[in-house]
Amino acid sequence: MASTPGPEDLKVRTLADRYWDEFLPLRPLFATQVGEERFDHLLPDPSPDGLGRRESVDREVLKKMGLIDRRALSEEGRTALDVVETLAHDELSAIRYRFDRFDAADQMWGPGTVLAQLGSIQQADTPQRLERYVVRLRALPAFLAAWADVLRDAADSGQTSPRLVVDRTITQVERLLRSDPAESSALSPVPESDGEGRTRVHDTIRDLVYPAYQDYLRALRDHRSMARETLALSALPGGDEMYRAKIEAWTTLSMEAGEIHERGVQELARIQQERRDVAARVGAPDSETTIARLTEKGDNAFASREELLRLAEEQVRR
């Protein structure tokens, strides 16, 4: 039987719930990804005001955490507190080092990907969902204009993305603008049967979103001449500290880059040896030959969708 939460555990639960409720509207795309539809009409605010609101929420939750007696917490309470602390700490670190300046020109997760993101994560299959979606699309011009301001700020500060990345982002947005709005992935959330809804979304993309991306593209092209030729963060003032902050955000470990690299080299060598050992056990000269033989025999593929699903469920349970 689970133990009854103590007073400090209840404080943590209240603190975590409140932080989550404040966290989601500031990161509405994440909210949509996790199935929270209340903020499906919003976009993130990359402006200085938006950064200020994020910083205020994160500093406040860390301050309140200092009033909780960790020694009196259950394992569940400590875990919840650790998760909140990590989130808030990483957010403040990102703001401190202004990693948003790199996000302003980023072909992987930057503004040029937002239409595709919305097409894959949002639903617009009811009148209410459709309305939220259209409101969100109509907010894209202000969203992209704010990112153009961040690009200018990045250039003024000298904290720019590599020119290679900027070029790829420019190419990405150019390709987006060459595409027909009628073929946009941003239409995916609206069912084919909802002709009126698809027309609303199509017209919004054509009349508002694409012109806004034209403005953002001009900002990217202006920014390109200021982008750095180097790739590594270490080429920037304070770049080593930025890199350490990234390591901690992605791994929760306080390790030096060289130490992580060496561990990676050792782990790769271990895996390659394991591959050679497996190949030897089945009488093959190398892992490539082993894979080719398994593929030829049909042992390297699933016989059915159900078999693949069973394996996935087993792995999740394990």
pLDDT in tens, 236-293: 999 999 999 999 999 988 899 999 999 999 999 999 999 999 999 989 999 999 999 8
Instruction: Output the pLDDT for position 288.
Output: 92
Whose CA is closest to 45, among 54, 36, 37?
54
Residue 113, classified by CB atoms within 10 Å of its CB into exposed (0-12), middle (13-18) or buried (19+), is middle
DSSP 3-state of 180: coil
Residues 6+ apart with CB under 8 A from 177: 210, 213, 214, 217
Output the average pLDDT for the chain.
95
pLDDT at 165 over 90: yes
Instruction: Output the pLDDT for position 3.
Output: 60
Q: Give dist(CA 238, CA 95) in Å, integer.
A: 14
232 Rama class: left (phi>0) / alpha (psi -120 to 50) / beta = beta
Q: Give dist(CA 161, CA 150) in Å, integer.
A: 12
pLDDT at 209 over 80: yes
Greatest C-alpha distance within the chain: 64
| Residue pair 104/47 in contact by the 8 Å Cβ criterion | no
pLDDT at 300 over 90: no
Q: Give dist(CA 210, CA 201) in Å, integer.
A: 12
What element of type H or E holds 124? none
Task: Give alpha helix (H) positions in the chain.
Answer: 7-26, 28-33, 48-65, 75-96, 100-103, 114-121, 127-138, 140-157, 163-178, 195-204, 210-224, 239-251, 257-281, 287-297, 305-317
Query: Which residue matches tokens 């199509």?
Result: 202
Q: Please provide the DSSP assignment of 42-64 as one string.
A: -----SHHHHHHHHHHHHHHHHH
Instruction: Output the pLDDT for position 298.
Output: 84
Query: Which residue matches tokens 């750095």?
Result: 228
Phi, psi for residue 162 in degrees, rounded to 5: -60, 145
Q: Give dist(CA 273, CA 157) in Å, integer.
A: 47
Instruction: Output the pLDDT for position 1.
Output: 42
Tally of residues, the chain: 318
| pLDDT mean over 3-13 | 87
More confident of the two residues 208 and 295 = 208
DSSP annotation of 3: P
pLDDT at 102 over 90: yes
| pLDDT mean over 154-182 | 97
Whose CA is closest to 112, among 168, 59, 38?
168
Sign of the CA dihedral 185, 190, 194, 196?
negative
pLDDT at 6 over 90: no
3-state SS record for 143-176:
HHHHHHHHHHHHHHHCCCCEHHHHHHHHHHHHHH
CA distances from 112 to 38, 46, 277, 304 (A): 24, 14, 45, 37
Amino acid letter, 284: A
